Every structure is written in C-alpha cells, then in structure tokens.
Amino acid sequence: MARRTKEEALETRMQIIDAARRVFHAEGVNRSTLDKVAKAAGVTRGAIYWHFTNKAELFLAVKKAYTSEFDQLQSLLSPTVNQSPLSALTDYLHALFSGLLTNSAARETLEIIMLRCEYVEEFYEVLQTITEPCTDILTSFTRLYRDAKTINELKPGLDPELMALDTLAFVRGTLRAILSGQQHDTYCQAIASLVEAHIALRR
C-alpha cells in the first residue's frame, strides 16, 4: 500500500509538472497562476503545495524534467581518443539542435525559459540557476578551442576565448530564432549546414 501511495504521489507530481509546462507555454510564466496549473492538472491547489513551495520551484521542476537531455549532451564535449576537439564540438552542436527539433516538450520548455519568463521578484534568484549551465558550457567550449589551437586544428590567428564566446552566441541566437518562430522552417532545414559552416570558419 505504501509503495502504491508513493507511486501515486510521483504520478501526481509529474502530472502537475506537465500541466505547468502547458500553462507556462500558453500564458507565460508571470501571468500563470497555481490555480490555473491546478485546473489544467486536474488537482487541487493544495496538491500543488504538497509537492512545490511556490511557482518558482515548480518552474525549476519543469526545466529539470524536460531539459535534462540537453544537460547530458555535455558529455559530447569531451573528445574520444580518435576525435579532434572541433569534431567533438561539431557533434555536440548537431546533437543539441537535433534534440531541439525532435522533442516538442523540450522545445516548448526552452521557449518558456528563454522567451516566456520575466526574471523579476521571486524569479530573480531562479535566473542564477538557469545561467549556471551556460557558464559550464562556455568553459567546455573554451577548453576545446584551446586544445584545437594546441594541435593546430584552429585556424592561425583565432583566439580560443573569443571563439568560445562566439559559438555560445551562435547557439543562443539560433535557439532564439527557432523558438521565436522567426523563419522557423528556414532554420530547421538549414541547421545542419549552419553548424558545419560555423565550424568550418574556424579550421
């Protein structure tokens, strides 16, 4: 019985998280209320507070539930024995954008994070949690470009630190363009070529 109760609690928690994602995406985080989330989830407001302290905590739970696969991709930023630094970076970028285009729930969640939330009041502190992965990714990009320079894979005269910042800007800009719907189809069709061109300019 206790096991069943625990399973039901986990099921309710995920039900709330999924409903929150849909409500946040439809109305924006700041205009959404826990009452609306409860209605969408088919639970009481009290059930939400049983699992989450406030909307900010629920927001972070949505992020964790639907973007964890992107965090796992960071392992691709460690080259294999027979892989060059820029090849590893290329594979990471392809996997990142491929995952974005094929996983609608993850895509909606990133859209919520990047375009549908104002990081003010209770969400100001959430911003720190949101930006931490970007700091880690920038560190990995920098390491790869430094390693590429060491083995003469990076084009002479290019600065590894600047190239890392430029690639992070490329990722953010492309993500924003896809998520905002600006020439969405064009970007989706050209994304693989864009990645290859971005890296080719550095070889």
Q: pLDDT tens digits for 106-115?
A: 889 989 988 8
CA angle 170, 172, 177 (to 5 degrees): 95
Confidence check: pLDDT of 1 > 50: no
Nearest Cα residue to 130 out of 142, 140, 116, 143: 116
- DSSP of the chain, one letter per residue? -HHHHHHHHHHHHHHHHHHHHHHHHHH-TTT--HHHHHHHHTS-HHHHHHH-SSHHHHHHHHHHHHHHHHHHGGGGGS--TT--HHHHHHHHHHHHHHHHHH-HHHHHHHHHHHHS----GGGHHHHHHHHHHHHHHHHHHHHHHHHHHHTT-SPTT--HHHHHHHHHHHHHHHHHHHHHTTTHHHHHHHHHHHHHHHHHTT-
Express each pLDDT in 23-75 by its tens digit: 999 999 989 999 999 999 999 999 999 999 999 999 999 999 988 888 888 88
Confidence check: pLDDT of 4 > 70: no
* pTM as predicted: 0.84
* Average confidence (pLDDT) over 122-127: 79
- Between 42-56, 120-134, 166-180, 182-196, the lowest mean confidence (pLDDT) is in 120-134
Cβ 38 vs Cβ 44: under 8 Å: yes
> What structural domains and CATH numbers belong to the chain?
1-52 (1.10.10.60), 64-200 (1.10.357.10)
Amino acid letter for position 16: I
Express each pLDDT in 75-92 by its tens digit: 898 888 889 999 999 999
Confidence of residue 170 (pLDDT cuts 50, 70, 90): very high
Cβ 89 vs Cβ 79: under 8 Å: no
What is the token pair recorded at 187? 């970007």
Confidence of residue 188 (pLDDT cuts 50, 70, 90): confident
